[in-house]
Amino acid sequence: MKRMIIALVAMFMMTFTTASAMSYEQARQQALFLTDKMAYELNLTEDQY
């Protein structure tokens, strides 16, 4: 019984993790935002960036 409960919990966790994953477009937008933010905080010029 204990194994069954652990297996069910593991299945639900895997399903939830997959369902809450970012889409490719969302990940791309976040990466661009973070890159711009880092460049701003480091005071990089256009040539350095």
Q: Look at residue 10 and tell me if it is in a domain.
A: no
Domain of residue 36 covers: 22-49
- Identify whether the C-beta of residue 19 lies closer than 8 Å to the C-beta of residue 27: no
DSSP the chain: -HHHHHHHHHHHHHHHHHHTPPPHHHHHHHHHHHHHHHHHHTT--TTT-
For residue 32, give the nearest of 17, 49, 18 by alpha carbon: 49
For the entire predicted model, the pTM comes to 0.52
pLDDT for 34 equals 93
Interval 2-34: pLDDT, tens:
787 888 788 777 776 666 677 889 899 999 999
Q: Residue 34 has which token pair? A: 């973070």
Q: Does a structural domain hold residue 46?
A: yes
Residue 4 lies in a domain: no
Could you tell me if residue 6 is inside a domain?
Answer: no
pLDDT value of residue 7? 83
Q: Say how far apart CA 43 and CA 27 lie, in whole Å.
A: 24
> Has residue 29 been placed in a domain?
yes
Q: What is the pLDDT of residue 29?
A: 94
State how many domains the chain has.
1
| pLDDT tens digits, 32-49 | 999 999 999 999 988 887
